[in-house]
């Protein structure tokens, strides 16, 4: 049981970070406004959680212009995908062993 808890990643403790990674695991990328709408959060709240995931190198940020409008896309990195999979597997094992 103790080994299961070791794979639970504190970075994913917050529901918004869990949501961001969930969206990025099933999509190649997501734009800021899409994440904001899906998760029902404010710009500032989303930005702070994105910053935390970027700090861990779990997501990659791509900024570009479409016409004259800025566009920001987010992608899960290989490191982020692996960490998230381990986190989810640990939660599933914890639930099954309860």
Tally of structural domains, the chain: 1
Report how far residue 21's alpha carbon sits from residue 52's, in angstroms, rounded to the nearest whole number.
12
Q: How many residues does the chain have?
A: 98
Domain range for 32: 2-96
On whether the CB atoms of residues 78 and 53 are closer than 8 A, the answer is no
Residue indicated by tokens 């992608």: 75
CATH number at residue 9: 1.10.10.10
C-alpha 26: how far from chain center: 11
Q: Would you place residue 2 in the very low, low, confident or very high pLDDT band (cuts 50, 70, 90)?
A: low
- Given a cut of 60, whether residue 1 has pLDDT beyond it is no
pLDDT tens for each residue of 6-61: 788 999 999 999 999 999 999 999 999 999 999 999 999 999 999 999 999 999 99
Report how far residue 15's alpha carbon sits from residue 90's, in angstroms, rounded to the nearest whole number.
16
Beta-carbon contacts of residue 1 (< 8 Å; ≥ 6 apart):
94, 97
């Amino acid at each position: 049981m103790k080994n299961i808890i070791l794979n639970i990643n504190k970075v994913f403790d917050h529901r918004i970070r869990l949501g961001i990674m969930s969206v990025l695991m099933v999509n190649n990328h997501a734009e800021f406004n899409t994440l904001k709408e899906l998760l029902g959060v404010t710009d500032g709240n989303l930005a702070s959680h994105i910053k935390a995931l970027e700090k861990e190198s779990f997501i990659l940020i791509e900024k570009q212009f479409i016409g004259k409008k800025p566009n920001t896309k987010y992608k899960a990195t290989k490191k982020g995908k692996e960490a998230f999979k381990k986190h989810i597997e640990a939660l599933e094992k914890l639930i099954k062993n309860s």
